Amino acid sequence: MAITSAIRNAGGYVTVSGTVTNNGTGSWLGADWQSDETELAGNGGSLAGASLVDNAGRKKYLVLRDTKGHCLCTKFDGRVRSGQTVDWFAQFPAPPASTKKVTFQVGSMPPAEIPLSEAQ
């Protein structure tokens, strides 16, 4: 997994995006990245389980969702084949403007501290 950007948008949310490459020999679905929340269970293999943590503000931000409970994030509708790279995104409520970096967490991946940039 690579994170390419974390952009604070004027609408009060942050979009984190990047790529994921399947370096394994079989196909990959992202099942351990899905959320264990009941409302998000229907998202299947997705980034629904991702979160941003504002360590300074001591607050955790969960993936945004629409009125039907679908995450505002990439859903891996098919499996990622061996050797394939796919783009992904996840949207979160924006932390306060004073917060300049957050920690991104998803599934069994190690937490990654990322800087927030402003939308152009």
Query: Domain spans of the chain?
Result: 2-114
**pTM assigned to the model:** 0.87
Q: Report how far residue 34's alpha carbon sits from residue 24's, in angstroms, rounded to the nearest whole number.
A: 19
CB-based contact 9:94 (threshold 8 Å): yes
CB-based contact 90:16 (threshold 8 Å): yes
In this prediction, residues 108-120 reach a mean pLDDT of 90
**What are the tens digits of pLDDT across the range 24-65?**
888 776 656 565 665 555 555 678 889 999 999 999 999 998
Q: What CATH number labels 2-114?
A: 2.60.40
